[in-house]
Structure 1
Amino acid sequence: MLPWKRVVRSLARPLTALLLTAAVAAVPAATAHASDAPTWGSPRSSAAESGGGWNDYSCKPSAAHPRPVVLVHGTLGNSVDNWLSLAPYLKKRGYCVFSLDYGQLPGVPLFHGLGPIDKSAGQLSAFVDQVLAATGAAKADLVGHSQGGMMPRYYLKFLGGAAKVNALVGLAPDNHGTNLDGLTNLLPYFPGAADLIKATTPGLADQVVGSDFLTRLNTGGDTVPGVHYTVIATKYDEVATPWRTQYLSGPDVHNVLLQDLCALDLSEHVGIALFDRIAFHEVANALDPAHATATTCASAFS
């Protein structure tokens, strides 16, 4: 290997690792996934979570909650760990809840959400079709964390998802990309680093502010008609930064800052999806606005 190539790799690899660490949404623990790694074109839900009450394909939506809820994990998350708290929370309230794994790189069995985001959106499309067929529902609601709150917008805008989705709720979604607290501004100082990240983990490259993917996604407006959008953000987010770029603009958008609901809420990017019941209460309000109740600090105990 030429000396300059060796230098590029020595610098780019630590930077890639840094981006991976900063973007983590949940630490995968479901080692059973390793034996049946999907391709980018195949949606998959794990059997592991069915014991927790979700991904039950015999579940039929009730009159009170007529739409199944599809949970979409974040970068490096998976269909189990990302939702160990929110999925049971929604199941207890009478929803049919489903989750998928997407964006798995060939040969990387444990880490999800790293493949090209447009391909991941195709996996989501196939999974929603699977859920609708099983439940008999006409539409689904989507709840996503981080990349999982942004990626579905590609499905809605370009893959016909708007006809099959009633609402999209994003928990700390990087709707307009992230600069990782300024870390991505360092990429030009590491020749070849950006290309290496794009080649090895395209799902990360797609989320950097100004990427070709994000430019296409946001050109012509953030939203599409017929879908209700909710964004739930925290000012302590250290991954999807600056946090205000998570917000959407459009005629049917509700942007929420957790600290406006409860100033004592200290959740950051990971915590908002893993254990923040104040955020969960606001998710429930977004899924059933006709029966919404005020979200306050007391919601943490509801």
Structure 2
Amino acid sequence: MIWILSVVLVVVALIPAYVTLAFYLVWFYDRRNFPAPTEDHQPTPLRPGRTLAAMLLEAVSLSFLVASYPLRLIQDASPKRSRAWDRPPVILVHGYGGNSANFLWMQWRLRRWGFRNVYAVSYTPPHINARKLAAQVARHVERVLERTGAEQVDLVCHSMGGPLSRYAIKNLGLAGRVRKVITLGSPHHGTRIAALFPARGAAAQMRYRSPFTKELAEGGECPGGARYHCFYSDMDNFVMPATTARLEQAEDNLHLPYLGHCSLLYSPRVARAVAERLRAD
């Protein structure tokens, strides 16, 4: 019985490694055949040692993300009225197929650094229309504002959470109610990897240069008077090309080399950069 359980655990542990390797094979093909440099960003030359280390870190990060998935039950706690008025509440918005537990580590770090009002939220199911998912994000923001008594919030968004938050700010009444938006590996202009998913709902809308992402950019990429900061990596194995995670009108587009898509959630570099921008006036 123990032997069978051990085999099952090994197989389960290997699945994230296989997924990581498969997505990096697609990433390597895309990087080689469809380069998309901009004037202020050129692809980082790959060093074999650092590249392999980054791939291993991504596999470990994906494993932790999958293992922590059930912890949503304790992450989706109702926000309490705040007694700290030094800065706006921080709301963490996950990506496609994830939930609030994806931000366990970052939420812990931010609270250790003095951010008292940090809330992780979940939206489901991921395969429905992105506009409906954005409506859930908007309701979460309104709920936190109501419960805390704050006038504005700051959003930290991973992956698809970025476009959903921009849509909610632009079209669902959050304009002026969000002070800052920090995105981590968000496919603002879609991603070519989405073409590998069934063409349904949000997965289809997240395809590179889809009608949804073009509509979202109309009238300005950074809506609602919020200040936008975009973090991205050209080793992001879910966001292709890497430059789709940038917004030209953002206050800054910070390149963090040798970090995969899930690694962005657990990187000390990323957490420090997020905290610095949240503290800034």
TM-score, normalisation: structure 1:
0.67
AA aligned opposite 2:148: T
Deviations 1:227-271 (A, max 9, x none): 000001112111111111211022x52110013xxxxxx221110
Matches within 5 A, 1:115-126: 115-126=128-139
Q: Is the 8 A contact 2:91 2:141 kept in 1?
A: yes
Match of 1:85, SS?
A: helix
Match of 1:258 among 256, 260, 263: 256
AA aligned opposite 2:75: E
Map of 2:202 onto structure 1: 203
Q: Is the 8 A contact 1:140 1:165 kept in 2?
A: yes
| Cα distance in 2 for residues equivalent to 1:177 and 1:257 | 18
**Superposition deviation, residue 172 in structure 1:** 0.5
| Cα distance in 2 for residues equivalent to 1:123 and 1:28 | 25
Q: Are 1:146 and 2:159 counterparts?
A: yes
| Cα distance in 2 for residues equivalent to 1:217 and 1:133 | 27
Matches within 5 A, 1:85-124: 85-95=105-115, 96-104=117-125, 113-124=126-137
Q: Are 1:27 and 2:47 counterparts?
A: no
Deviations 1:32-52 (A, max 9, x none): 8xxxxxxxxxxxxx54127xx
Q: Are 1:156 and 2:178 counterparts?
A: no
**Superposition deviation, residue 119 in structure 1:** 0.5
Matches within 5 A, 1:1-302: 26-27=65-66, 29-31=68-70, 46-49=72-75, 55=77, 57-58=79-80, 60=82, 62-64=84-86, 66-80=87-101, 82-95=102-115, 96-104=117-125, 113-180=126-193, 184=195, 197-199=198-200, 202-250=201-249, 252-259=250-257, 266-273=258-265, 275-290=266-281
Q: Is the 8 A contact 1:22 1:239 kept in 2?
A: yes
CA RMSD of aligned residues (A): 2.6
- Structure 2 vs 1, CA of residues 136 and 269 (structure 1 numbering), >3 Å: closer, same or farther? same
| Cα distance in 1 for residues equivalent to 2:130 and 2:141 | 16
| Cα distance in 2 for residues equivalent to 1:86 and 1:140 | 17
AA aligned opposite 1:130: R
Q: Is the 8 A contact 1:141 1:287 kept in 2?
A: yes
| Cα distance in 2 for residues equivalent to 1:238 and 1:289 | 30
Map of 1:299 onto structure 2: none
**More displaced 10-residue stretch of structure 1: 211-220 or 170-179:** 211-220
| Cα distance in 1 for residues equivalent to 2:255 and 2:273 | 10
| Cα distance in 1 for residues equivalent to 2:251 and 2:170 | 15
**Superposition deviation, residue 28 in structure 1:** 6.5
Structure 2 gaps of 5+ residues are 1-18, 25-60
**Superposition deviation, residue 216 in structure 1:** 1.1
Deviations 1:265-284 (A, max 9, x none): x22111011x1010111111
- Structure 2 vs 1, CA of residues 279 and 120 (structure 1 numbering), >3 Å: closer, same or farther? same
**Superposition deviation, residue 147 in structure 1:** 0.4
Percent identity over the alignment? Answer: 28
**Superposition deviation, residue 56 in structure 1:** 5.8
| Cα distance in 2 for residues equivalent to 1:103 and 1:217 | 21
| Cα distance in 2 for residues equivalent to 1:126 and 1:155 | 9
Structure 1 gaps of 5+ residues are 1-17, 33-45, 105-112, 188-193, 260-265, 291-302
Which stretches of structure 1, 4 residues or longer, exceed 3 Å deviation after superposition?
A: 21-26, 28-32
AA aligned opposite 1:86: M
| Cα distance in 2 for residues equivalent to 1:133 and 1:276 | 32
Question: Which structure features the higher share of helix residues?
Answer: 2
- Structure 2 vs 1, CA of residues 238 and 139 (structure 1 numbering), >3 Å: closer, same or farther? same
Q: Is the 8 A contact 1:178 1:241 kept in 2?
A: yes
Match of 1:152, SS?
A: helix
